[in-house]
Structure 1
Amino acid sequence: MKIKVASFLFFFFWLLNIHSQQNKILDVKIVGVKKTKTTFIKNLLYSKKDAVLDSSFLEKDITLLKRLPAIAHAYYQVFFSHDNLYNVSIQIEENATLLPEINLWTTTNNVFSYKLGLYEYNFLGRNITLGGFYQFNGFDTYAVNFRAPNLFSKKWGLAVNHQNWKSEEPLYFGNQSANYVYNNISFEVLALHQINLKNRIDFGLNLFKEKYQYLSGATSTSIPQNLSLNKALLKLVYTYDSLDYYYQYINGFKSILYAQYVLTENDFQNDFYIFWNDFLYYKRIGEKGNWANRLRVGLSSNEDTPFAPFALDNNVNLRGVGILVDRGTGSIVLNSEYRYTIYDKDWLAIQTNIFSDIGSWRNPGGSLNDFIKEENIRIYSGFGLRFVSKKIYNATFRIDYGFSVLNTKGNSKGGLVFGIGQYF
């Protein structure tokens, strides 16, 4: 019996000695931050003081930091201190995060339109987005947005949004169309949960009022000229993210699922669902090339209504197709482009790109066979330029020219598309 006790104690102290000899972190130092709070960054890290030194955790920390809007680049260094203790130094290059938003364009009726906004993406140095915009497109629109992914803890946060949106939109029914003023007044609250480094979920409630007012075009006895609807929307966004960033270059895979269920009490529309999934794949090719892809697949309740939720539009899915040229209850779109850096200095990079955008739609009240009908398929190809600031978050000015590959009747022959941020 004494031999067994002695053997157990020997084995126990041997394990304790092995554990005590593991390399440990004496301290974690954050270098290079000016605006972001050091305490906030340390709370996010997997690598902490007195923890076991683990290179896999350090790699996770760098990936996590490079995904923050406030951080342009990050890397770590490990320095021996004494015994089995090491100091970890995390070097950070910060982005400028107080950004104006300025857009100019013309609407379907050639009204000169503009959008002016201001957003801070690192409010209080704690990865909080706060801002809003005013837009004039013949009508007045405004929005206020607040998003704090780490408000309550490392894994839990909150988003609150309010928007009063107005725009003139074409609605299509049969071979006819009409222009309506569309007004959406919404209040949204979302809970934000970071499950782990690669998985995130947002969920919550949006209460909104929709108004439609007839302006011009065809009319139908089955479609009201004035409509006001009170609705509630249950929202879920699930994100899987394994992307790795190196300044303007991206590598890896990302999937974002958007699922919504809309509750409404009126005689014109029923409750309906809508979901779509973005599959994004990026591959670095050589030193200066980047192949980028987005596959979007979406479906909604298949009602025969001109107010179908999926829009065919320049700024959303097909570059060159035009502004709000059609609507559907289903959508399959593949965007693929090759970006090549032709200029790369300390603060600025310039990229050229060639692209192809391919899409198909299910008509309101139609069938899944609509996706393979020739008249519903659109293919646009083209080329463009990107001016990328390497010191300002999301400050990429893009210009693309897309032209139609198919000679489908009614197709736009092509056009220019401007924007801020990469197309996807």
Structure 2
Amino acid sequence: MKKIVGVLILAMIVITSGYAQEKTISKIEIEGLKRTKESFLRRLIKVKEGSVYDSLKIATDVERLNRLAGIAKATSTIVKKSKTDYTLKYSIVENFTIIPGLRISQANNDEDVAFRVSAFEFNLLGRNQIIGGFYSRDVFDSYGIFWEAPFLFNNKFGFGINYQDNVTFEPIFINDNQEEGTDYRFQNKTFQTFLSYEFNFHNRAELGFLIGDQEYEIEDNQINPGLPNQLDATNFSITSEYEYNDLDIDYQYVSGFRNQANFQYIFNSGGDGFLEDAFVGTNDLEYFIRVGEKGNLANRLRLSYTSNENSPFAPFALDNQINIRGVGNTVDRGTASVVINTEYRHTLYEKDWFVIQSNTFIDAGTWRTPGNDFDQLVEGDAIRFNPGLGIRFIHKRIFNAVIRLDYGFGTGNNSDSGFVFGIGQFF
């Protein structure tokens, strides 16, 4: 009996001694900051001073910091002060985050030049807030202003608000006739606000509402007996977004998986039966793989659906700035779509902050046009397949500073080829 008691006492001493020898983070240092507030980063990271050393939590915090727009690269080191006392150091390389933007393309009327200029600050007040706006002209003038603070209230709750007045030249197609669209001046004024919540490192959600006014006005000499000359509607929408993010970002290289789902239910007042109450949903599934030291394989699957399946004023456009590079500007519309984008990015040259990447891609998609069944998605006439080549010029220390130029080769009957220019990776 005495031996058993002795063994138990010895075991308790060993266990207690083991706990006493646990590594403790007594101090956290953050170096390299210029614009980003240290207090903001300390609120964001999960490892706190006085906590037990946990390599997984530290690695997760490094990933969290690397996802911030204001940070180009974050690393961590552990400095041993004693057997149980450690200092955790985060080294930060900041991004330049005041980003102007310019996009030039052919206008939707195939005659004029369209352009979009913008300016955004992605690290407002050093707290990763976004503020900015744009002005564009695509036959008509449009503008928008935005403010978003993902961590406004604490390290989980955020808030966003925006106003847009978009006036565009929109072709509307009926009877699957992609050659003879009826042209409208489309004005869409929207005010949106939302709350965001981060459940954990991988999962976040948004919930909000949108109030809008829509007006379609047919262009001169475009009378079509199957379409209205003018259409007006006021709408109220409940908007939501859910994102699962498990991406690891290392400058121009990305690896991992992300899924982003957007759902909206629109209550329409007016619209003369063409713009009815509708559910609209889009889901983007992205998967990135590092290939060797200089390669990156990027994949995206986009699924889209609206319940207003008979209206020719369908929400999903076939457009080379959105889904299939090279097809042209708004060449078709659909009430459901499946789009797959796959591209291989390879670093050709890298020195200090400057990178040149080549890009080889395949864009493929299929659309269900208004009034048709889901069977149309697998019919040959509805499928678009465009392979292509491109190049990227990248500044590693300016957020989203990627100048993109691609050329998509059309395949099959009635296919189009063309250049697509933009800022930022295509996805």
Same fold (TM over 0.5): yes
Aligned partners of 1:6, 1:263: CA distance in 2, in Å?
A: 75
Measure how far apart 1:394 and its partner are: 0.2
Name the structure 2 match of 1:116: 117
The 5 A counterparts of 1:16-415 are 17-109=17-109, 110-174=111-175, 175=177, 176-216=180-220, 218-266=222-270, 267-268=272-273, 269-406=275-412, 408=413, 410-412=414-416, 414-415=417-418
**Contact conserved, 1:173 with 1:305, CA < 8 A, in 2?**
no
TM-score normalised to structure 2 length: 0.94
Q: Which ranges in structure 2 are unaligned for 5 or more consecutive residues?
A: none
**Contact conserved, 2:342 with 2:363, CA < 8 A, in 1?**
yes
Measure how far apart 1:299 and its partner are: 1.1
Structure 1 residues 112-121 or 392-401, which shifts more? 112-121
In structure 1, give the amino acid aligned to 2:331. V
Measure how far apart 1:139 and its partner are: 1.7
In structure 2, give the amino acid aligned to 1:77. T
Measure how far apart 1:163 and its partner are: 0.5
**Contact conserved, 1:179 with 1:217, CA < 8 A, in 2?**
no
Measure how far apart 1:136 and its partner are: 2.0
Q: Which ranges in structure 1 are unaligned for 5 or more consecutive residues?
A: none
Classify 1:270/1:302 alpha carbon distance in 2 versus 1 (closer, same or farther; 3 Å): closer
Structure 1 residues 264-273 or 92-101, which shifts more? 264-273
Measure how far apart 1:138 and its partner are: 2.6
**Contact conserved, 2:277 with 2:308, CA < 8 A, in 1?**
no
**Contact conserved, 1:29 with 1:89, CA < 8 A, in 2?**
yes
In structure 1, give the amino acid aligned to 2:43. N
Aligned partners of 1:237, 1:217: CA distance in 2, in Å?
A: 41
Aligned partners of 2:221, 2:21: CA distance in 1, in Å?
A: 80
Name the structure 1 match of 2:422: 419
In structure 2, give the amino acid aligned to 1:234. I
**Contact conserved, 1:251 with 1:282, CA < 8 A, in 2?**
yes
**Residue aligned with 1:58, SS:** helix
In structure 1, give the amino acid aligned to 2:353. W
**Contact conserved, 1:166 with 1:182, CA < 8 A, in 2?**
yes
Measure how far apart 1:184 and its partner are: 0.7
**Residue aligned with 2:289, SS:** strand
Measure how far apart 1:9 and its partner are: 10
**Contact conserved, 2:357 with 2:392, CA < 8 A, in 1?**
yes
Measure how far apart 1:12 and its partner are: 8.0
Measure how far apart 1:6 and its partner are: 12
TM-score normalised to structure 1 length: 0.95
**Contact conserved, 1:47 with 1:57, CA < 8 A, in 2?**
yes
Once the two structures are superposed, residues 351-387 of structure 1 have per-residue CA deviations (whole angstroms, 9 ceiling, x without a partner) of 0111110100111121111011111011001100000
**Contact conserved, 1:177 with 1:218, CA < 8 A, in 2?**
no
In structure 2, give the amino acid aligned to 1:271. D
Once the two structures are superposed, residues 23-58 of structure 1 have per-residue CA deviations (whole angstroms, 9 ceiling, x without a partner) of 100111001110000110011111110001110000
Aligned partners of 1:299, 1:137: CA distance in 2, in Å?
A: 26
**Contact conserved, 1:178 with 1:216, CA < 8 A, in 2?**
no
In structure 2, give the amino acid aligned to 1:357. D
Classify 1:98/1:172 alpha carbon distance in 2 versus 1 (closer, same or farther; 3 Å): same
Aligned residue pairs total 419
Aligned partners of 1:356, 1:404: CA distance in 2, in Å?
A: 11
**Contact conserved, 1:259 with 1:276, CA < 8 A, in 2?**
yes
RMSD of aligned alpha carbons: 2.0
- Identity among equivalent positions (%) equals 37
**Residue aligned with 1:404, SS:** coil
Measure how far apart 1:106 and its partner are: 2.1
Aligned partners of 2:15, 2:418: CA distance in 1, in Å?
A: 70
**Contact conserved, 1:302 with 1:366, CA < 8 A, in 2?**
no
